[in-house]
C-alpha cells in the first residue's frame, strides 16, 4: 500500500519519543529540532497561539479542526509533538529525509506495541488524506500532547491563495471598493421612521451590525482576475472566520482518500471512524476575566442572555458568526414571535369578551336555573343514576368563555393572520437576501453522501461479480476487466458518475417506509383508543363511589388524568418517532444531504403531527358522535358504553385537552430535553474525561486549548428539531384556535424564552456549526402554508360541529318564538321513557334523586316517546346539519378568498428592495464599462507610443535601421500581445 510522502504525518505506532531515547535521536542529527521543542515547553507557547486559535507560529489562524483517536503508548509519557505542513519547500525537503522517530533503533530494548489491523488502516487513510489536503494547498499542524487522553487534533489553515481560489469556485459574493447610497425615505415617512427609531432604541441590541446603514458596498462574485475591484487593504479580515471555515469544509468534502475500497471524502472518513469529529473553532471564550472582545462574547451578552429578552435579535451578527441558514432560522423565529403579539392581544380580548358576557348568556343561565328541574338520563349503565342538569352549571358557564360569537371572528382573524404572517416573512426574507448578498445565489448540487457512495459501490461490485460468473468460460478476459475495475476504483474515480440507484434498488426501502409509517400511525390510533377505554372504564368505576363529591367530579377527574396520559405518551412517542423517521430515511439512501434532510423532515413531521393531534381530533370530531341513544347505546367489546359530551358540548373539553398538551409539551421539552439532557450529557462527558485524564499535576493545571474545549461541547445536530418544535406549535396556534383563543398568548410567552434558550445553546453548549449558505427556509415554508390552509378547514368544522354556534343560529331564526335564546336548551334535548331501557341497563337506584323518574332527557334531535316514530331522528336534526354544512362551505371559501387576496395584494418583494437590486445591477454595469474604457484608453496610449517609436526608428540611417530590425518588430508586436 503506497504511502504518500508529501504529507509528513507520523504513524500511529510512533505517537511520540520516549524520554529515555533522546540520546539516540541526538546521534542521528535531530538534536536541534527536539531540543527546541523541549525548551518551548517551559516558555508556555500556548499564549503565543492564543491557546489554540492560531498555529504555533502565532500568525496562521486555525480555520478547521480534525479529531482522531489513537492508542497511546503505555510505557511512559510521550513528548509533545507538533508536526507542521507549511510551504512547498518544506514538503520537498521532507521527502529526502526520514521523519523524527522513524527508522531509529530504540535503546533499552524497548519497542512500541504492535497496532492492530484496524488502527493501522485508519492511520494509513489519515496519512494519505492529509497528504492530499496539503496538495490541495492547505497547511496542517498536528497536536497529540493534549489533556484528552488518546485524542489527537489536526489543525488546518487555508492560506490566502487557497481562499481566493475557492472563493472563485464557490462564487462567493464579496464587497468591492465601490460604495453607493441606500435610498432613504422622504417627507412624512422619514419622520415616522425617525420617531419609531427613537422609541425602539432601548430595545435595539448594542452591536455595530444592527445599526441602520445609509451606504452599502457593491458586492460581486470574487474573481482572482478582478482582485483590483475588491478592498484588499486588510487581507486578514477580508475573509471572516465563517467564510474561511466554509471554504475549508468544501475542500475537505472534495478531497478523497483512495486507500480504502472506494473513494472516501471527509463524510465517509467520519462515518468509518477514521476521524471522530470535524468542526470549525469558536472565536474565543465568552466569559471570564481578561477575555478579548470577540463576536462570540458579544453574542452571549447581547443575544444569548435571558436579561435581554425584550430586545431585538442581532440577526446580522448571528449570520456573520453562524452563517445564513442558522441566521434565517432565528430571523423566522423572531418574525413569528413578533406576529404573535397582535394575535395574543386579539385572543385576550375575545377571552375577556366571553368573561364579560357569561352572566348574560341565556343558555347557560337556563342550565344553571334549578327551577327548570330538568332530569337527565344516566351517563352509564346500572351504576349511574339520574342527575340534574343544573349540576353541570360550572361546565356550561366555562364553555361560554370559549364558545361565543367572538370565537368565530377570531377564527377568521387567525386565518388572515396566518396569510399575513407568510407574506410578511417572504418580504423579510427578501430584505435579508439583499442585505446578505444572496439575491443571485442558486444552490448547487451537493456532494453525494457517504452511504450513497457505499451503496453504489456495492451495486457495481455485485454487477461485476455477476458478469464474472457469466463469463467464467473466458477467465483471462474477465480477469482483465476485473483488474481494470479495481484500478479504476483505486484511482479515486467516483462511481456515482457511472452508477446510480434506481427505484428498483430502493423498492425494499420504499416498502419498508410505507409499512413502517402505516404501522406507526396505527400505533398512535391504538394508543388513543386505549386512552378512550381508560376514560370509559374509569368513569364507570368512579360512578360506583358512594361519596357525592366523588360522583360529581367524575368528568373532571377522568378528563384531567386522560389528558396527562396523552401528554406523557405524546412526549415519549415524539422521541421514538424522531429516531424511526431517521432510520427510515437512512435505509432509503438519499443521494445528497439536502434530499436526506427533506425526506427526514417529511417523515418526522407526518409522524409527529399524527402523534400530537390525534387525541385532539378525537375530542373535536368523534367524541359523542357515535353514542347512540338511551335504550340503544353503542358498546365497545359489548361492555363499555361510548362516552358522551358534556351538556355544554365538547368544546370545553377540547380546550382543556389542547391547553394541557400544548403547555405540557412546551414546558417539558424546553426544560427537560433542551436544558436538562444536554447538561446531563455534558456532565457525563466531563466525568469520563476526568476519569481518563492523566494524574500529572502539571498537565492537569495547564489551560486547555480552544480546540480541546470545543471538542467537549455537544456536536451540532441540525435545525430540524428546532423547526419541528415551532411548526407543531404553529399548528396548535392555528388549527384549533376557535376552541382556545389564548393559544397565541402562551405561544408568545414560550417563544420569548425559546429564542434566548436556543441562542444560549448555540453560543455556549454546541460546537460551532459549519456555515451553510441558504436564501430561504426550504421545505418548512411549504409545510407552514399547508398548515395555514388546513387551519381554515379545521376551524370551520370546529365552529360548525363541535361548538353550539350553528344550533343557536338555527334556533334563533327558525324556532324561537320571541327572537331570543329562551328555550334553546329545552329545544336541544330529547325525551326518553325509562320503561324503554334494555334489560340490565336501568339504574340500580332509580330513587336517587328522591322521586320516581318517568321521563329523562338526553342531548339529541330525536322524536319523543309519544310520537309514532319514537326515537327516530327528527327534522330539526337535518335542518341543523344542513346549516352546519352550509357554514363550512361558506366559511372555508370566504376565508380562503380573503387569504388569497391578502397574498395577492402584498407584493413578495418590497418596492425599495427591488429598486436597490436594480440599482446594484446598473452600478455593476457602470463599473465594468468604466474598466473596459480604461483598458481601451490604455491600449490606445500604448499604440500612440508605439507609432512615435516607429517614426523615430525610420529617421535613423538604413544601416542602423537594419541592425535594429529585431527591436522594431518587437515594438510592433507588443501592442498585439497586450
d(CA 197, CA 44): 50
**To which H or E segment does residue 140 belong?**
strand 139-143
Within 10 angstroms of residue 593's Cβ, the number of other Cβ atoms is: 16
3-state secondary structure 200-238: HHHHCCCCHHHCCCCEEEEEEECCHHHHHHECCCCHHHH
For residue 856, the cross-strand partners are: 832
What phi and psi, each to the nearest 5 degrees, are found at residue 817? Answer: -80, -35
* 832 SS3 class: strand
| DSSP-derived pairing of the beta strands 632-633 and 628-629 | antiparallel
Pick from 248, 254, 228, 245: nearest CA to 162: 248
How far is residue 230's CA from residue 218's CA, in Å, rounded to a whole number? 10
DSSP structure string for 471-506: TTT-HHHHHHHHHHHHHHHHTT--GGGT----HHHH
598 grid coordinates: 427533506
Q: Render 643-662 in DSSP notation, one character per residue.
A: P---TT-SHHHHHHHHHHHH
Contact call for residues 33 and 291 (beta carbons, < 8 A): no
Q: How far apart are CA 913 and CA 480, in angstroms?
A: 63
Cell of 948: 512615435
Per-residue pLDDT, 480:
54
- Write the CB contacts of 41 (distance below 8 Å, at least 6 apart in sequence): 80
Q: Are 166 and 251 in contact (CB under 8 A)?
A: yes
Question: In the prediction, which pLDDT does 919 show?
Answer: 84
Q: Which three cell numbers stand for residue 799?
A: 365552529
How many other C-beta atoms are found inside a 10 Å radius of the C-beta of residue 626? 8
Phi, psi of 499 (to 5 degrees): -110, 145
C-alpha cell at 572: 415519549
Pairwise CA distance, residues 895 & 400, whole Å:
24
d(CA 193, CA 191): 5
Question: Do 517 and 625 form a contact (C-beta atoms < 8 A)?
Answer: no
Beta bridge partners, 641, equal 635
Question: What was the pLDDT predicted at 522?
Answer: 92
The answer to whether 714 and 678 have CB atoms below 8 angstroms apart is yes
What are the angstrom distances between the C-alpha of 578 and each of 109, 543, 575, 593, 725? 56, 40, 5, 17, 12
pTM of the model: 0.82
Q: Report the pLDDT value the prediction gives residue 956, as an integer from 0 to 100.
A: 55
3-class SS of residue 853: coil
Cα–Cα distance measured from residue 59 to residue 234, given in angstroms and rounded to the nearest whole number: 15
Q: Please, are residues 396 and 647 in contact by the beta-carbon 8 Å criterion?
A: yes
Query: What gap in Å lies between CA 279 and CA 635, rounded to an integer?
Result: 60
Task: State whether the Cα torsion 946-951-956-957 is positive or negative.
Answer: positive
Burial 365-390 (b: 16+ CB within 10 A, else e): bbbbeeeeebbbbbbbbebbbbbebb
Contact 884, 806 (CB under 8 A): yes
**Helix, strand, or coil here: 279?**
strand
Q: CA Rg, the chain, in Å? A: 38
Distance CA 659, CA 746 (A): 9
CB 403 within 8 A of CB 651: yes
pLDDT score, position 539? 78
The grid cell for 837 is 331501557
Distances (CA, A) of 204 to 208, 220, 302, 339: 11, 30, 9, 18
Low-confidence ranges of the chain (pLDDT < 70): 1-51, 72-116, 209-210, 259-264, 444-446, 471-499, 545-553, 647-648, 670-671, 685, 689-703, 953-978
Structural contact between residues 368 and 825, judged by C-beta atoms closer than 8 angstroms:
no
Cβ atoms of residues 86 and 155 within 8 Å: no
Unique residue bearing C-alpha cell 358576557 = 357
Q: What is the pLDDT of residues 740-786, one digit of tens each?
A: 899 999 999 999 988 998 999 899 888 999 998 888 898 999 999 99
Q: What is the pLDDT of residue 156?
A: 93
| pLDDT single digits (tens) 782-829 | 999 999 999 999 989 988 888 888 998 999 888 888 888 888 888 888
Q: Are 503 and 492 in contact (CB under 8 A)?
A: no
Neighbours of 858 (CB within 10 A): 19
Cβ burial of 781 (10 Å; 0-12, 13-18, 19+) is middle
Amino acid at each position: 500500500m503506497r504511502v504518500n510522502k508529501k504529507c509528513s504525518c507520523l504513524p500511529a505506532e510512533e505517537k511520540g519519543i520516549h524520554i529515555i531515547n533522546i540520546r539516540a535521536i541526538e546521534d542521528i542529527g535531530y538534536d536541534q529540532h527536539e531540543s527546541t521543542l523541549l525548551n518551548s515547553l517551559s516558555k508556555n507557547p500556548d499564549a503565543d497561539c492564543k491557546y489554540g486559535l492560531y498555529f504555533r507560529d502565532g500568525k496562521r489562524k486555525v480555520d478547521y479542526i480534525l479529531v482522531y483517536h489513537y492508542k497511546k503508548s503505555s510505557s511512559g509519557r510521550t513528548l509533545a509533538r507538533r508536526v507542521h505542513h507549511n510551504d512547498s519547500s518544506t514538503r520537498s525537503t521532507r521527502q529526502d529525509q526520514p521523519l523524527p522517530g522513524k527508522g531509529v533503533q530504540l535503546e533499552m530494548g524497548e519497542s512500541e506495541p504492535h497496532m492492530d489491523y484496524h488502527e493501522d488502516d485508519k492511520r494509513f487513510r489519515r496519512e494519505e488524506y492529509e497528504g492530499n489536503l496539503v496538495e490541495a494547498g492547505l497547511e496542517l499542524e498536528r497536536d497529540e500532547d493534549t489533556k484528552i487522553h488518546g485524542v489527537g487534533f489536526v489543525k488546518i489553515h487555508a492560506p490566502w491563495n487557497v481562499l481566493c481560489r475557492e472563493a472563485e469556485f464557490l462564487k462567493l459574493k464579496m464587497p468591492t471598493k465601490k460604495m453607493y447610497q441606500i435610498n432613504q425615505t422622504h417627507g412624512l415617512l422619514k419622520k415616522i421612521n425617525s420617531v419609531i427609531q427613537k422609541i425602539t432604541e432601548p430595545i435595539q441590541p448594542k452591536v455595530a451590525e444592527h445599526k441602520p446603514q445609509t451606504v452599502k458596498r457593491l458586492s460581486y462574485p470574487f474573481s482572482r482576475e478582478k482582485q483590483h475591484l475588491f478592498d484588499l487593504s486588510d487581507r486578514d479580515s477580508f475573509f471572516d472566520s465563517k467564510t474561511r471555515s466554509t471554504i475549508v469544509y468544501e475542500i475537505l468534502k472534495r478531497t478523497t482518500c483512495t486507500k480504502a475500497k472506494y473513494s472516501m471524502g471527509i463524510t465517509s472518513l467520519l462515518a468509518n471512524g477514521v476521524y471522530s469529529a470535524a468542526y470549525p473553532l469558536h472565536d474565543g471564550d465568552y466569559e471570564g476575566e481578561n477575555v478579548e472582545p470577540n463576536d462570540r462574547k458579544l453574542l452571549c451578552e447581547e443575544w444569548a442572555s435571558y436579561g435581554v429578552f425584550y430586545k431585538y435579535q442581532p440577526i446580522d451578527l448571528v449570520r456573520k458568526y453562524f452563517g445564513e441558514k442558522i441566521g434565517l432560522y432565528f430571523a423566522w423565529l423572531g418574525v413569528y414571535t413578533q406576529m404573535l403579539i397582535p394575535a395574543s392581544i386579539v385572543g385576550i380580548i375575545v377571552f375577556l369578551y366571553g368573561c364579560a358576557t357569561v352572566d348574560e348568556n341565556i343558555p347557560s343561565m337556563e342550565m344553571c336555573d334549578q327551577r327548570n328541574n330538568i332530569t337527565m338520563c344516566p351517563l352509564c349503565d346500572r351504576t349511574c343514576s339520574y342527575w340534574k342538569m343544573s349540576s353541570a352549571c360550572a361546565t356550561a358557564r366555562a364553555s361560554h368563555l370559549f364558545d361565543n360569537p367572538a370565537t368565530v371572528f377570531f377564527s377568521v382573524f387567525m386565518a388572515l393572520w396566518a396569510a399575513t404572517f407568510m407574506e410578511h416573512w417572504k418580504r423579510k426574507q427578501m430584505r435579508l437576501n439583499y442585505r446578505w448578498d444572496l439575491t443571485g445565489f442558486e444552490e448547487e448540487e451537493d456532494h453525494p453522501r457517504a452511504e450513497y457512495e457505499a451503496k453504489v459501490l456495492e451495486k457495481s461490485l455485485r454487477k461485476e461479480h455477476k458478469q464474472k460468473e457469466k463469463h467464467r468460460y473466458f477467465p483471462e478476459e474477465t480477469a482483465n476487466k476485473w483488474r481494470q475495475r479495481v484500478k479504476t476504483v483505486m484511482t479515486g474515480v467516483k462511481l456515482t458518475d457511472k452508477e446510480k440507484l434506481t427505484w428498483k434498488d430502493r423498492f425494499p426501502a420504499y416498502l419498508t417506509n410505507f409499512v413502517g409509517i402505516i404501522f406507526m400511525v396505527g400505533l398512535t390510533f391504538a394508543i388513543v383508543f386505549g386512552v378512550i377505554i381508560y376514560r370509559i372504564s374509569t368513569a364507570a368505576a368512579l360512578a360506583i363511589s358512594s361519596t357525592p363529591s366523588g360522583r360529581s367530579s367524575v368528568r373532571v377527574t377522568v378528563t384531567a388524568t386522560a389528558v396527562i396520559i396523552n401528554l406523557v405518551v405524546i412526549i415519549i412517542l415524539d422521541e421514538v418517532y424522531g429516531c424511526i423517521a431517521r432510520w427510515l430515511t437512512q435505509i432509503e439512501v438519499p443521494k445528497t444531504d439536502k434530499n436526506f434532510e427533506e425526506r427526514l423532515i417529511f417523515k418526522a413531521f407526518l409522524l409527529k403531527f399524527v402523534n400530537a393531534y390525534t387525541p385532539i381530533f378525537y375530542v373535536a370530531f368523534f367524541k359523542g358522535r357515535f353514542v347512540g341513544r338511551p335504550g340503544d347505546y353503542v358498546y365497545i367489546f359489548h361492555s363499555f358504553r361510548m362516552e358522551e359530551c358534556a351538556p355544554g358540548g365538547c368544546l370545553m373539553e377540547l380546550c382543556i385537552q389542547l391547553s394541557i398538551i400544548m403547555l405540557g409539551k412546551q414546558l417539558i421539552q424546553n426544560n427537560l430535553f433542551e436544558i436538562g439532557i444536554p447538561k446531563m450529557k455534558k456532565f457525563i462527558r466531563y466525568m469520563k474525561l476526568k476519569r481518563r485524564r492523566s494524574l500529572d499535576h502539571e498537565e492537569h493545571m495547564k489551560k486547555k486549548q480552544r480546540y480541546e474545549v470545543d471538542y467537549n461541547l455537544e456536536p451540532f445536530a441540525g435545525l430540524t428539531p428546532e423547526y419541528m418544535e415551532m411548526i407543531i406549535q404553529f399548528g396548535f396556534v392555528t388549527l384549533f384556535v376557535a376552541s382556545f383563543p389564548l393559544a397565541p398568548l402562551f405561544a408568545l410567552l414560550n417563544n420569548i424564552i425559546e429564542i434566548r434558550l436556543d441562542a444560549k445553546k448555540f453560543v455556549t453548549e454546541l460546537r460551532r456549526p459549519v456555515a451553510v449558505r441558504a436564501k430561504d427556509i426550504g421545505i418548512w415554508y411549504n409545510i407552514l402554508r399547508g398548515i395555514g390552509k388546513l387551519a381554515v378547514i379545521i376551524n370551520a368544522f370546529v365552529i360548525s360541529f363541535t361548538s353550539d354556534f350553528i344550533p343557536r343560529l338555527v334556533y334563533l331564526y327558525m324556532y324561537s318564538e320571541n327572537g331570543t335564546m329562551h328555550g334553546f336548551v329545552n329545544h336541544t334535548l330529547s325525551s326518553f321513557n325509562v320503561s324503554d331501557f334494555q334489560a340490565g341497563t336501568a339504574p340500580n337506584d332509580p330513587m336517587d334523586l328522591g322521586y320516581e323518574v318517568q321521563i329523562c332527557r338526553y342531548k339529541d334531535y330525536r322524536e319523543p316517546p309519544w310520537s309514532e316514530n319514537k326515537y327516530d331522528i327528527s327534522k330539526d336534526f337535518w335542518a341543523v346539519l344542513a346549516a352546519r354544512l352550509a357554514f363550512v362551505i361558506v366559511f372555508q371559501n370566504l376565508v380562503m378568498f380573503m387569504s388569497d387576496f391578502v397574498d395577492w395584494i402584498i407584493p413578495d418583494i418590497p418596492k425599495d428592495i427591488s429598486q436597490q437590486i436594480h440599482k446594484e445591477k446598473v452600478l455593476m454595469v457602470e463599473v465594468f464599462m468604466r474598466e473596459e474604457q480604461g483598458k481601451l484608453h490604455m491600449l490606445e496610449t500604448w499604440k500612440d507610443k508605439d507609432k512615435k517609436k516607429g517614426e523615430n526608428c525610420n529617421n535613423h540611417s538604413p544601416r542602423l535601421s537594419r541592425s535594429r530590425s529585431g527591436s522594431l518588430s518587437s515594438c510592433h508586436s507588443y501592442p498585439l500581445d497586450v
